[in-house]
Structure 1
Amino acid sequence: MNQEVPENRNVLEAIEAVFLRIVLQATEGNDVTLKITPKPRWQDVGIYRGQLKQVSPSRTTLVSFRQSPMKFAQYCLLMTEIYKSVTEEKIRTKRDLYYQFPTTFKSQPVVDKIVEDIARTFNVKRSALKVVATTKGMFAGPLDIQTDSGNGSRKIASAQDGATLIPTKGLTSASLRILVVPFDNPFVLVVEKDATFFQLLERKFHAKYPQGILVTGVGHADFATRALLHLLTSPPISLPGFVLVDADPHGFEIMAVYKYGALRSRIPLTPADERKIKALLTRVYLAEKPEWKREPFPKELETLLAGGFKTELQAMDAFHPRYLLDNYLQDKLEKMSIFAADARTEEDQSTWLHC
């Protein structure tokens, strides 16, 4: 494996050449090695017309089976998986590759580095390896997202020319505008995996379904992805939505998350959490002010300890982006007559907003 592979040589031929070289080395009884073109060092690059350019010849390093058997195996395994993906025209993500062999690669950055090394060694773009970076929340199709300001409309995301990251801010803003390009029978298709999302785009999904808006949250969708999906499938837009997931329990769970939301912030208490609760219940201010023991503060701590779970405020986002403001806070403040301050004593002015 070396950088001298001609540019017009395809990836399959390059990988075949690597393994042929390995067989020849092993047959001759020599140490089996791989020639790798690593990432350029800072001293190897310079500024040319405002851009970073490599100015020194590319370096090569040897990965020896005898000296680094695990590292050697990692490179060979990834090349094998890349060969399969190119042969089958199947797009993979770096994340997929790592989670398929977590005990071999130990961490995601190991996969990331090796993939980039292979692309540089073969002198091809990473996309030629059928490997894409893992991202969070993307959409593609006849859709623009804009915000209105005092200076007019400003486009913050458009997917008409390909996959676009879903903006993480502004999706709950009152100034937001979702513009769907007019088509007959428009719809939203939510895809579980980003590899499948890219595969559909590569195979010209929009040539067959120009009215379709593809969305992916890469597994369990983040808040921005679910917020965008809610905007697209709720009035006034009200597009029909469909979900494409694996036919397994995990896939059905993901489908349920998209449809109903997820209380992902309901987390088991840790031993440290339990110690903290017990310590709080013995604090001096509870002992000096016995009436507090009748208030929600200690009761909530005891409920947490008995239930064994804690919940973060972000869990409310699962119900609706505005649930915290329009439902939870409104209900609590009304129950505590917060707006009738003249009817409350000074001591009453300090109270707790609790679940």
Structure 2
Amino acid sequence: MVPKPRKRQREPAGSRLAGKRNRATSSLDTARAPVSLEDASLLGKLQVLRRQIKAKDEEKQRRAQDTVLRSNNGHVATRVEVLELNSNQVLAELERIMLSAATSILEGRGLSYKVPRRSAGNQEYVEELERIVLKEGIAIRNFASIASVRKTTIMTRVMQLVHELCSRRIHTTKRDLFYTDVKLFRQQTESDDVLNDVACLVGCTRNSLNVVASEKGIVVGRVTFQEDGDLIDCTRMGVGGKAIPPYTDRITNITSDAEFILLVEKDAAFMRLAEDRFYNRVKCIIVTAKGQPDVGTRLFLRRLKRELHLPILGLVDSDPYGLKILSVYMSGSKGMSYDSANLATPDIKWLGIRPSDLDRYGIPEQCRLAMTENDIKTGKDMLEEDFIKKNPAWYHELSLMVKRREKAEIQALSSFGFQYLTEVYLPEKIRAGDWI
């Protein structure tokens, strides 16, 4: 439904005072009036980007079978690329692995597993694919070795539990899995880590193992879909939004009239956008994972991009960790690089908050935070990342952040008024096409 035109709102007093306070330090007048986007012509740059994204997605689909995974002599390069498998396929592979292990024991060679190494040294960023991939390195987990006996034991136990889940056709959370054998696992990080190893060993996505993370992500805005047969309209989910289910395979019939997807780092910014019904002001879908993205949110975002061909604009804090969060969405996480083909969503545009915005929008000094030594180290390390180097605009902004040694949160915009984000900052950015 197209929203009725709004009357021009009077600028909040707090916003006027903030503009006067920062006029000397800003090249623009920070006491801006609310920006109208109801004239379709003002969305011109966004609509151009949308057409470009759709054309690029279609081109990727055409050459999907002729990727960089082929070497110069025409043979398929050895990399770990997992598939979405059903319960029967996972069961068959688990039973094959255990039969091989039993045969090895009976023949006197002992119990061992050949597991793809997921360490940083066995990963690479492939520019043509725009994501991290896992290379061919293998680690031997040997029960007879003191160094690997514990990991081998945990792996055997996890495979037993996954076999039970797939046999019963039920799902569980990673937390529930940990509590099945607390004395053995000791910490959930250990069972979580081995679960990824088992996925690599089986050659399937982690969700194929019927073990999922608890719901974390939220979506609101101009999208409808069916979840296990139930119709979900995300414009009617209130300010809390709709929890993104961990079983994205149960989502069907996705439809939308949105112009773009707004990917938000923090829950606080998401709540402001949802309460102000920003998705009606500018037709969009708003998604957040409340910080570091979980698998469910990454799967859902990729699904939206693949089916709707919409641009994705990222709204994160102006600090190295905001960029790290965007990098996980875009190119995949190093911990799950084996599944990057299913989880990564390349070509996300960085809308804000960018380091150059701090002066451009006159962010007050008291809202700018000094970067810690750890922040600076993280920023410098990210400047060496391939996905940053390939984008000169991103590299410039991150260099500016490290040089100035200052950061700012999205909430710093609230110093100009609680609705400055939705009434001024985002509309101005969208109208100007100010993303990189």
Q: TM class, shorter-chain normalised?
A: 0.3 to 0.5
Select the structure of larger CA radius of gyration.
1
TM-score by length of 1: 0.39
Alignment TM-score, normalising by the size of structure 2: 0.33
